[in-house]
């Protein structure tokens, strides 16, 4: 291990993403210290991606960050990627306003009934913890999702981002859904039609 952990790219003004491998750290405490010091240096929106993070380290890091830094986080036990978005911007929150207005349009246009609308619950930045299946131990904080009564997982999840690659999106996705290879993540991952069939 080198004296100075290597991250790519270096944290600098105008840069919005830093990727660091946890393999550089011999001890969990040193990794946690690096994560916290990196997060504390941020003065504007920034995304940190830590790769090769063992599940025990990821779980502790998430708890530690929850206590210290306002952010949106996800940890995928399958890909061992810990992703932290610090100081989210208005782009991360605009989804909520848009989709809540869209629900009014759906009702007004009779695309959904009042009974169907009452089944949908919008959530913002809520932590989803996966207790079973291939993603056991993973957690995800989505920008926005609709959850239907009595369903554990969201029916529709919406994330915003600037320039994530398909691989980055999948590294913190806790689903088996496929993303179209021809689509760039900077574009909408899904499109909402103004006329949609009932749920």
pLDDT value at residue 76: 92
Contact 173, 107 (CB under 8 A): no
Over range 1-18, report the average pLDDT: 53
Window from 109-118, 148-157, 180-189 with minimum mean pLDDT: 180-189
Contact 160, 143 (CB under 8 A): yes
Please give the structure tokens belonging to residue 146. Answer: 């609709």
Please give the structure tokens belonging to residue 142. Answer: 């989505």
- The class level of CATH for 17-86 reads alpha beta
For residue 177, is pLDDT > 70? no
Counted residue by residue, the chain has a size of: 199
Is the preceding omega at residue 9 within 30 degrees of 0, hence cis? yes
Report domain extents, the chain.
Answer: 17-86, 90-177+186-192
pLDDT value at residue 32: 93
Q: Which of 164, 182, 186 is nearest to 173 (CA)?
A: 164
Q: Which of 77, 78, 74 is nearest to 65 (CA)?
A: 74
Instruction: Report if pTM > 0.85.
Output: no
Residues paired with 8 in a beta bridge: 19
């Amino acid at each position: 291990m080198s004296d100075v952990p290597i991250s790519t790219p270096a944290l600098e003004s105008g840069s919005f993403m830093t990727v660091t491998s946890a393999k550089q750290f011999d001890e969990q405490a040193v990794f946690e210290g690096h994560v916290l010091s990196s997060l504390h240096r941020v003065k504007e929106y920034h995304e940190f991606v830590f790769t090769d993070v063992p599940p025990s380290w990821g779980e502790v890091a998430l708890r530690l960050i929850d206590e210290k830094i306002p952010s949106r986080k996800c940890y995928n036990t399958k890909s061992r990627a810990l992703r932290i978005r610090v100081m989210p911007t208005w782009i991360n929150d605009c989804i909520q306003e848009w989709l809540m207005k869209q629900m009014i349009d759906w009702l007004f246009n009779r695309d959904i009934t009042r009974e169907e609308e009452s089944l949908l619950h919008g959530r913002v930045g809520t932590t989803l913890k996966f207790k079973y299946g291939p993603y056991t131990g993973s957690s995800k904080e989505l920008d926005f999702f609709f959850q239907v009564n009595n369903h554990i997982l969201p029916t529709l999840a919406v994330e915003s981002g600037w320039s994530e690659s398909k691989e980055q999106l999948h590294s913190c996705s806790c689903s088996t859904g496929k993303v179209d290879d021809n689509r760039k993540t900077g574009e909408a991952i899904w499109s909402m039609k103004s006329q949609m069939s009932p749920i």
